[in-house]
Amino acid sequence: MGRFVDQFINPVIWARYWDEMLGAIGLTVQLTLLVLLTGLLLGLVLGLIRVAVPPLFRIPIVIFADVFRAIPPLVILVVNYFALPFAGIRLSGFDCAWLGLCLVLAAFTEEIIYGGLRAVGKGQWEAARSTGLGSVTTLMLIVFPQALRMTVAPLTNRTIAIAKNTALGSVIAVPEILNIAMSALSNSANSTPLTMAALFYIVLFAPLIVFSRWIEHRFPQRG
């Protein structure tokens, strides 16, 4: 038992890495927020565009969404970090993680939003258009709010799943929670930093999980 405590919740190690781990939390929060903000926004815009444009123009969006939903996020991050420099594009680990996860979240968001927009009955379009509302106004004020209600639960779940992938940044030298914990682990030959990492993730993501449960209760999915 003493051995376990010593290895996993060693107070000396805990104190030694506390400040550094706090910094990593700050960076993780920053990365997560950036990914959520840009990924959701991009996906939303793409989903709306896909509904609004003629079929031919939808193809690039469909390809984008399918590609970025198919490739494992880790692969995208690694490609960004290790392959893009050969093409003359040199991004920091942070930017690689941000860009990669943003695109993945955008792809899933686009697909969910598009599905929601399509699920709104065509009677809604016809009613709005029959009163002289334009197609953009109808999309934004009549159809989109209904689609959002339908999709907010799956969107929240998907967003949380992708947000947790910030931990993948650890393999491309992003000093986020897991990365710092891993180097602390090898420097100290002690597992306490990993315990700290796990606890920090819980503190970070548990509220989101609770939020998603509330969302699911508040906006039950139809069908």
**Residue ranges that bind another protein, judged by CB under 8 A:** 121, 123-124, 126-134, 137, 141-142, 145-146, 149
Shortest reach from residue 135's CB to another protein, in Å: 10
CB-based contacts of 58, cutoff 8 Å, min separation 6: 50
Nearer to another protein, 129 or 164 (CB): 129
Nearer to another protein, 150 or 177 (CB): 150
Shortest reach from residue 130's CB to another protein, in Å: 4
- Rounded-to-integer distance, Cα 152 and Cα 132, Å: 29
- Rounded-to-integer distance, Cα 121 and Cα 223, Å: 14
Nearest to 107 by CA among 32, 38, 209, 208: 38
CB-based contacts of 5, cutoff 8 Å, min separation 6: none
144-163 and 93-119 helices, crossing angle to 10°: 150
Shortest reach from residue 136's CB to another protein, in Å: 11
Measured CA to CA in angstroms, residue 76 lies from 57, 69, 79, 165, 168 at distances of 25, 11, 5, 12, 10
Nearer to another protein, 66 or 126 (CB): 126
Nearer to another protein, 85 or 134 (CB): 134
Nearer to another protein, 26 or 121 (CB): 121
Shortest reach from residue 116's CB to another protein, in Å: 13
Shortest reach from residue 58's CB to another protein, in Å: 22
Nearest to 162 by CA among 48, 67, 34, 50: 34
